[in-house]
């Protein structure tokens, strides 16, 4: 699933448990501890950029996520109009850059299968 990705070095900073008051899921934190973001292509050809833990809060602030998507955080994008994120239930989602909760589509609840679920999302459209 993650074969086409270039990951960042492992995260060695202080513990980050919440962004925008939203608890980060354990599977996400474990994944990021080892990979700390990166970018690459999914098997289906979607480009995926995962933000590093160091830049999560800044990216959420820059895009005013607490205002436009309360109860959500963004964790990455596709470089072409969509964001990927986590809701307060620990579910991963996709939303267009026209940030509106009505346009949000839940993909999965485990970051380890996120690339596969992104591909399924685009195959169904």
The answer to whether position 6 is within a domain reads no
Tell me the mean pLDDT in the region 47-56.
96
Q: Tell me, what's the pLDDT at 2?
A: 87
Domain extent for 82: 22-123
The answer to whether position 89 is within a domain reads yes
Among candidate residues 79, 77, 72, the one with its CA nearest the CA of residue 106:
72
Q: Tell me, what's the pLDDT at 96?
A: 85
Q: Tell me, what's the pLDDT at 112?
A: 93
The answer to whether position 2 is within a domain reads no
Domain count, the chain: 1
User: Angle at CA 25, nearest 5°, toward 12 and 115?
Assistant: 90
Q: What are phi and psi of 41, to 5 degrees?
A: -105, 140
Tell me the mean pLDDT in the region 87-115.
89
Q: Tell me, what CATH number does 111's domain have?
A: 3.40.1580.10
Whether residue 103 is predicted with pLDDT greater than 90 in this model: the reply is no
Q: Tell me, what's the pLDDT at 97?
A: 75
Q: Are strands 38-41 and 47-50 parallel, antiparallel or unpaired?
A: antiparallel
The answer to whether position 3 is within a domain reads no
The answer to whether position 14 is within a domain reads no
The answer to whether position 5 is within a domain reads no
- The pTM of this model reads 0.87
The answer to whether position 65 is within a domain reads yes
């Amino acid at each position: 699933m993650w074969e086409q990705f270039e990951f960042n070095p492992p995260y060695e900073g202080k513990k980050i448990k919440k962004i925008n008051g939203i608890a980060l899921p354990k599977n996400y934190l474990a994944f990021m501890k080892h990979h700390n973001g990166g970018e690459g292509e999914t098997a289906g050809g979607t480009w995926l950029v995962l933000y590093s833990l160091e830049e999560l809060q800044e990216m959420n602030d820059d895009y005013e996520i607490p205002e436009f998507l309360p109860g959500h955080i963004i964790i990455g994008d596709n470089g072409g109009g969509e964001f990927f994120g986590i809701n307060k239930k620990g579910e991963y989602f996709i939303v267009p850059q026209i940030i509106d909760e009505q346009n949000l589509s839940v993909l999965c609840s485990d970051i380890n299968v996120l690339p596969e679920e992104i591909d399924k999302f685009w195959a169904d459209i």
